[in-house]
Structure 1
Amino acid sequence: MAIIAYTDGSSLGNPGPGGYGTILMDTEKLVKKEWSQGYRLTTNNRMELMAVIVALEKLKKPKTEIRIYTDSKYVCDAVEKKWVFGWEKKGFKGKKNPDLWQKFLIQYRKHKVSFQWVKGHAGNEFNERADQIAVAAANSNNLIIDHGFENNLAEDSGLF
């Protein structure tokens, strides 16, 4: 497989400022690119999932085979154990992050995606790098709004 991704999410508090880090590599062409973004208020799981979404969105050709390495059991198990497809059938009722899961599924269905869970903070070079850029994004001065999270907070507050 030529395309691999390492993804990670970070949240400084849960919820709190957060960020994702995504590394895409074409192992045949020896090309590596990185993306990250910070958010002013989000959760770790949202950033883990956002990192994967970004990896898939960056693929230019449909049906690209990609192996995604993540230290998120939340993301890896939801897909590999096919839970997310059951959640989708039930309209994500009672599930967190439906906005991101729906966005993920759109991208997921465009490609041939497999996941590999890796232990976080265990010395894997690219997992460590994805973590570094996710944390740096969370700590940056360029934090944007995670509308899906903040809108849900407003709804849950009962204020509007």
Structure 2
Amino acid sequence: MSSQEIIEVYTDGASLGNPGPGGYGVIMRYKQHEKEFSKGFRLTTNNRMELLAVIEALKQIKGSGWQVVVYSDSQYVVNAIEKGWLKKWQQRGFKNTANADLWKQLLPLLQKHRVRFVWVKGHAGHAENERCDCLAVQAAQHGALHIDHAYEATIHEHNAKKPSKE
């Protein structure tokens, strides 16, 4: 494939408080076409938003077999793929793996396309990363925030297991 046939994806996630309100931002490019989108959540973590940005971007790609390059400032996301952590987590059934619900959503999307991850240093003047950060923060700060149901369910489970202070 020529470089014109690569879909470039730039992603970033943000959480104000970690956990706290959060959001993700995405820029997607194919040839001369560009698309930006973002979404905010009322209670989540930075790692969840970094990962959800990639998931939501890959969901936007119609068909299969595309060559995709994902640029992210999240070492958590990039290393999980590039260093094989995700395969190890999958082999052990995601036991004791943070954000297992999201990693399970990502797996079939990675199998659908030829995806390569590239780490970019955050807050270092990388234009697309800076824009994605802006989108993510704005999404976390403004508008009707969505519910990260899986995350909030784990918080409720954790709190239910705590002994009462009565």
3-state SS of 1:36 partner: strand
Which residue does the alignment assign to 1:7? 11
Which residue does the alignment assign to 2:23? 19
Q: 4+ runs of 1 displaced by more than 6 Å?
A: none
The alignment of Structure 1 onto Structure 2 pairs a total of residues equal to 158
Structure 2 portions without partners, runs of 5+: 162-166
3-state SS of 2:121 partner: coil
* Displacement of 1:35: 1.2
- Offset from partner CA, 1:111-146 (integer Å, 9 cap, x none): 000000000011111010010000000001220100
Letter in 2 for 1:23: I
Which residue does the alignment assign to 1:109? 111
- Offset from partner CA, 1:16-52 (integer Å, 9 cap, x none): 00000011001x2x11001100000000000000000
CA RMSD of aligned residues (A): 1.2
* Displacement of 1:89: 1.0
Letter in 2 for 1:17: P
* Displacement of 1:65: 0.6
Query: Structure 1 residue 154 and structure 2 residue 150: aligned?
Result: no
Which residue does the alignment assign to 2:92? 90
Structure 1 portions without partners, runs of 5+: none
Which residue does the alignment assign to 1:35? 37
- Offset from partner CA, 1:84-118 (integer Å, 9 cap, x none): 01101111111100000000112111100000000
3-state SS of 1:109 partner: helix
Q: Rg larger in 1 or in 2?
A: 2
* Displacement of 1:158: 2.1
If the length of structure 2 is used for normalisation, what is the TM-score?
A: 0.92
Of residues 132, 135, 149, the one that matches 1:133 is 135
If the length of structure 1 is used for normalisation, what is the TM-score?
A: 0.96
3-state SS of 2:24 partner: strand
3-state SS of 1:149 partner: helix
* Displacement of 1:157: 1.5
CA distance in 2, matches of 1:23, 1:64: 17
3-state SS of 1:38 partner: strand
Of residues 75, 78, 81, the one that matches 2:80 is 78
